[in-house]
Amino acid sequence: MSKKNLTLKQRLNTESTAGVICTLPFTFGFLMFMIVPMFISLYYSFCDYNILSPAQWCGLDNYVKMFQDGRFFKALQVTFYFAFVSVPLRLIFALIVALILLHTTKITGIYRAVYYLPSIIGGSVAVAILWKRMFAMDGVVNNLLGVIGIKTSFSWLGNTSTAIWVLIILAVWQFGSSMLIFLSSLKQIPVSLYEAARVDGANKWQQFWKVTLPLLTPTIHFNLVMQMINGFLAFTQCYIITQGKPMDSTLFYTVYMYEQSFENYNTGYGAAMAWVMLAIVGLITWILFATKKLWVYDEGL
Amino acid sequence: MGMKAKQRLGRIIYHILVCGFGFVMIYPLLWMIMSSFKETSTIFSTASQLIPEKFVLENYSTGWKGFAKVSFATFFKNSLTISIIATIGTVLSSAIVAYGFARCKFKGRRILFVAMLASMMLPAQVLMIPQYLWYQKLGWVGSDLYLPLIVPYWFAIQGFFVYLMINFIDGIPRELDEAAKIDGCSYYGIFRRIILPLITPALITGGIFSFMWRWDDFLSALLYVSNTAKYPVSLALKLFCDPGSSSDYGAMFAMATLSILPAVIIFIFLQKYLVEGISTSGLKG
């Protein structure tokens, strides 16, 4: 049968046409809602633009300005600090709790649920405003400290060294979903490996370092990549709880970008910041993948 | 002490520690829920007590009144509208795209697949300003129809869901497709009659996560919704924290408690799907 003789219906029903048609929503969506916006913003990042008046080409001015902007570097520093502290802490917590709750009984199911409930609701505005009140001067944290004998009205959110920790604790509190991922990969490690290790005289501690941890490295790597990206881009919690205060000590990159674009109307500058952020996130992802072979075990069981 | 007794003691200590730490984990939530039943003036003077001296429901009635004559009934209705429509779009479009990827070979499949993986890595915050500029050109900003909060989701732009469903479809034997093909089923018929019913668990998992993410979404509401009467719950809650608001903390906690109710209900009744979604494809809760 030559192609010409096919009816439209038959032509639509070939494997390759069906593939193209079925994936068409994504093709269109990807172009319309990701590629086009990125290129428009690339153009505006070379412009002096403030939404209200027409854009004026200014070349690399926005990027040059960034390198002279102290608050830009402050935001970078805060964001790196937040991501590099909160993500590893969260993963360590998740792994420890996963190991503790590994043996399945009826009651550990309930424990697991309790531990991962926070990560289900942790991203909501409700939790953000709750957190803000908990660490307020008359909040529950100071009150509970009073109960155990430490009378204080310390301003956790007003101090440049503790405010960021309020956000870090909130991030670490949501370790539950990483815990579940660890649990499911822990269950896939064959018991025979532990038995072999025991026969060779390895104690529990050695078993963990020589068997469990190496076999978990692919999971850890996956978690690290996804959470680093998200850690760099936390917005809601910071925007509601601290808004970058005090003295920019919690000024997240995304919050600063928002402030520049929508409060100071330096939209061109904001667009440039978005591109720099994309470059940074890309670089970190690349580093995580490039260093993968140094510490991730992927030879199978 | 005998071996048995020692083991028993160890188990008791284990349970005490795990319970105690679990209590610390959910204490903030318990405190919020309990505070919403306290008299609003006593919330912070009795912050160290969990159980209210007197249970009151007053916070719920004052909070429900909302802001500027717009009640929380409206905010909840708005949130539901956005979340449900966007979720239906996400699930349907992701399913058909996943089917295309999983079952059909075609030109450009590889590139498209890489694009999908890239879209998983490209977070919403990077796109915040680019998309804003684009939607502004399209006239979508401030539209009362929530176009920027709904339309993109009908085009499978969240790679996670596509990925989840591809994995699921890969587990369905191809013999089923072949048999249907012999019976005269088209590629689209196979999707509708065979694949779609068989991936129901993945559709539910995807739907749950999508719903919860849309429900919690604060950033896009902040950018694109300007009319108070059109606010979703997440944005309305923020009004309690704005300087100049009356700071009725009782009402704030009451409405915050109600706002996490959908997630808690899902958590209680559909936990199986949540756990599955997180542990098989690393979706973040």
Residues 25-44 of B with CB under 8 A from A: 25-26, 28-29, 31-32, 44
What per-residue confidence (pLDDT) applies to A1?
45
Mean pLDDT of chain B: 88
Chain A nearest-CA distance from B1, in A, is: 23
What per-residue confidence (pLDDT) applies to B1?
61
Residue A214, token pair as written in the block: 């190496």
Mean pLDDT of chain A: 87
**Model confidence pLDDT, tens digit, residues A133-159:** 888 887 888 888 888 877 777 788 888
In DSSP terms, which residues pair with B70 in a beta bridge? B67
Which residue in the set A146, A181, A240 is minimally distant from B278, CB to CB? A181
Q: Are B259 and A22 an interchain contact pair (Cβ–Cβ within 8 Å)?
A: no
**Model confidence pLDDT, tens digit, residues A37-54:** 999 889 988 988 887 778
Between A292 and A96, whose confidence is greater? A96
Going by pLDDT thresholds of 50, 70 and 90, the confidence category of residue A301 is low
Q: How far apart are CA A127 and CA B252, in angstroms?
A: 11
The residues near B133 (Cβ < 8 Å, ≥ 6 apart) are A37, A40, A41, A44, A267, A271
Residues 52-81 of B with CB under 8 A from A: none
pTM score of the predicted model: 0.90
Chain B nearest-CA distance from A271, in A, is: 6
Q: Are B15 and A107 an interchain contact pair (Cβ–Cβ within 8 Å)?
A: yes
DSSP B53-116: SS---HHHHHHHT-BTTB-HHHHHHHHHHHHHHHHHHHHHHHHHHHHHHHH---TTHHHHHHHH
For residues A248-277, give the mean pLDDT: 90
Is a pLDDT exceeding 80 seen at residue B97?
A: yes
Q: Does A31 touch chain B (CB under 8 A)?
A: no
Q: Hey, of B125, B177, B185, B258, which one would you mutate to test binding to chain A, going by the most A CBs within 10 A of its CB?
A: B125
Q: How far apart are CA A23 and CA B210, in angstroms?
A: 20
**Model confidence pLDDT, tens digit, residues B172-217:** 999 998 999 999 889 999 999 999 999 998 999 999 999 999 999 9
Q: How far apart are CA A69 and CA A46, in angstroms?
A: 17
Backbone angles phi, psi at A56, to 5 degrees: -125, 125
Q: Are B22 and A44 an interchain contact pair (Cβ–Cβ within 8 Å)?
A: no
What per-residue confidence (pLDDT) applies to A185?
87
Q: Give the three-class secondary structure for A56.
A: strand
Supply the ipTM of this predicted assembly: 0.87
Q: How far apart are the first and last CA of chain B?
A: 45
Q: Are B155 and A281 an interchain contact pair (Cβ–Cβ within 8 Å)?
A: no
Cα dihedral across residues A143, A149, A153, A154: positive or negative: negative
Is a pLDDT exceeding 70 seen at residue A4?
A: no
Partners of B191 on chain A (C-beta within 8 Å) are: 22
Which residue in the set B104, B122, B259 is minimally distant from A126, CB to CB? B259
